[in-house]
């Protein structure tokens, strides 16, 4: 399946080489399976795992231990994301190398845009062994 923006059928039916202008407000927030965290998928390419998404974290939300299968990039728009190595605050950016493992939380909530080359693999809890897609 080629790259797409879920819930944007008008964009997904355009010719393959046409630019896509995404109405982000028109996309739905979807739960990701962890309490207090939702996402809007802006771009996904199922064949490769490429994913660009907005994530909305409620205060205190936790993303369990997971591994980044490829480089992951995060830009924080509001609030902050914290892990054992540090904190990424609003207006700042962090990236994690392939193989990085961590738990993340948003003590006061957060809105972030994240870029994945391949989905994370979760290492603990009922989702262990699954990926976020």
pLDDT tens profile 10-32: 898 888 889 999 999 999 999 99
Helix (H, G, I), strand (E, B) or coil at 1: coil
Q: Domain range spanning residue 38? A: 34-127
- Its sign, for the CA torsion 47, 28, 94, 64, is negative
What is this structure's pTM? 0.89
Nearest CA to 106 among 66, 76, 73, 132? 76
CATH number of the domain to which 61 belongs: 2.60.120.10
The terminus-to-terminus CA distance of the chain in angstroms comes to 14
Per residue of the chain (133 residues), what is the pLDDT tens digit? Answer: 689 898 898 898 888 889 999 999 999 999 999 999 999 999 999 999 999 999 999 999 999 999 999 999 999 999 999 999 999 999 999 999 999 999 999 999 999 999 999 988 989 866 655 555 5
Q: Is residue 49 part of a domain?
A: yes
Q: Is residue 133 part of a domain?
A: no
The Cα 72–Cα 97 span in angstroms is: 7
Residue 43 in contact with residue 21, Cβ under 8 Å? Answer: no
Q: Which two tokens stand for residue 69?
A: 């299968």
């Amino acid at each position: 399946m080629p790259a797409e923006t879920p819930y944007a059928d008008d964009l997904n039916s355009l010719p393959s080489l046409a630019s896509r202008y995404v109405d982000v407000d028109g996309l739905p927030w979807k739960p990701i399976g962890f309490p207090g965290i939702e996402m809007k998928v802006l771009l996904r390419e199922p064949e490769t795992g490429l994913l660009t998404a907005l994530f909305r974290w409620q205060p205190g939300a936790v993303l369990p231990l997971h591994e980044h299968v490829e480089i992951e990039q995060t830009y924080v728009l509001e609030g902050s994301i914290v892990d054992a190595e540090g904190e990424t605050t609003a207006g700042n950016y962090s990236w994690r190398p392939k193989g990085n493992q961590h738990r993340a939380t948003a003590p006061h909530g957060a809105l972030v845009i994240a870029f994945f080359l391949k989905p994370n693999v979760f290492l603990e809890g009922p989702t262990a062994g699954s990926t976020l897609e």
